[in-house]
Amino acid sequence: MTLYVGVALVTAAVLLFILQPVVKGLHASLERDEDELTETEARKRVALLALRDVEYDFLAGKLDEEDYRSLKGQLTAEALAALEADEAARGQGGRPADGDIEAEIVRIRAGLKTGFVCAGCGFTNEEGSRFCSSCGHALADQAVG
C-alpha cells in the first residue's frame, strides 16, 4: 500500500513538474500578447507542447512506460479537445500560425482520423500502422493508400 501511494505521489509530482513551465509560459505569453494568441490557441499550444515534453522525457528515460502512457493518453485527449475548441473559435478561415506546432497537430489529427492513435494508450502511430507500436493494441482497420 505504501508503495502504491508512493507511485501515485511520484506520478503527480512528475505531472506537476512537466506542466509547471508550460503553464508559466502560457501566462507569460498571454500577458505579453506577443503572438496575439487567442485563448484557444494558447490552450492548444500548451497541450501540444506538454505532449511533446512527455515524449522527450520518455525518450530521455525520465518517465517509465506506465507514466508515459498515462500522461500521453491524458494529454492527447486534452490536445484534441483544445484543437476542436480552437477550430470552432476561428471558424473555417483559420491559418496555421506556428509550423512546428501545426505539424504536430496535423500528425495527431491525421492519426485520429485514420485510426492510428491507439485507443488503448493514446500513442500516435505512424501512418499505415496496423498495431500500436507502444502497446501492441490493434488499430482501426482502415484502408491505407
- 8 A C-beta contact, residue 69 and residue 58: no
Cα distances from 36 to residues 41, 42, 50, 101, 131, in angstroms, run 9, 9, 20, 16, 40
Q: How far is the CB of 81 from Zn ion (least distance, A)?
A: 20
Which three cell numbers mark 34? 506577443
Between 30 and 109, name the residue whose CB sits nearer to Zn ion. Answer: 109
Residues found near Zn ion in the complex (CB under 5 A): 118, 120-121, 123, 132, 134-135, 137
Which helix H or strand E contains 120, and what residues bound it? none
Q: Which is nearer to Zn ion, 38 or 129 (CB)?
A: 129
Which of 56, 131 has the CB closer to Zn ion?
131
Nearest distance from C-beta of residue 102 to Zn ion, angstroms: 25
Q: What are phi and psi of 94, to 5 degrees?
A: -65, 145
Question: Of 11 and 70, which CB lies nearer to Zn ion in the complex structure?
Answer: 70
Which three three-digit cell numbers place residue 60?
530521455
